[in-house]
Amino acid sequence: MTRKYRSFSSEFKRELVADIDTGKYTVAEAAREHSISRTLVDRWLRQIHEGTFINRPTPREKQLEKELEKAQAKIGQMTLIIDALKKIQKIPQYTRRLNGSVVTMENLASQLKKDVK
């Protein structure tokens, strides 16, 4: 049989320690109230007071970070597509600018490079 561990948010831990610091609870009362080990509460107190407490992201925060990364990647792709479409849209202007001369890949590429700068 595997043991299922509970996890507590950083915000909960900080609030519990703040309640203990203000005298709302003693360590024993806080542990009993939330059905957690007194040694665990002592550890949180020590870590927060010593400044060694590490804010770990919650599973929801991790999920949101992944979604943000996907959205940023999609925005990057869309920006590239929009830039390419803008260049394609300008091709008729380049051909008119060449005054009816024969359009080759070299002179079209040189025109595109000039406009990009």
Does the CA dihedral 45-51-56-57 come out positive or negative?
positive
Q: Give the global pTM.
A: 0.48
> For the chain, what is the mean pLDDT?
84
Structural contact between residues 13 and 44, judged by C-beta atoms closer than 8 angstroms: yes
* pLDDT top residue among 7 and 15: 15
DSSP string, 41-74: HHHHHHHHHHT----PPPHHHHHHHHHHHHHHHH
Axis-axis angle for helices 10-22, 27-34 (nearest 10): 140
| Residue spans per domain, the chain | 10-50, 69-116
Question: Over the stretch 83-110, which tens digit does the pLDDT of each residue have?
Answer: 999 888 887 776 666 655 566 777 777 7
The residue with tokens 């950083």 is: 10
Question: Over the stretch 52-64, which tens digit does the pLDDT of each residue have?
Answer: 887 777 778 889 9
Query: Long-range contact list for 49-55, CB < 8 A, 24+ apart?
Result: 49/17, 53/10, 53/13, 53/14, 55/10
The model's confidence at residue 1, banded by pLDDT at 50, 70 and 90, is low
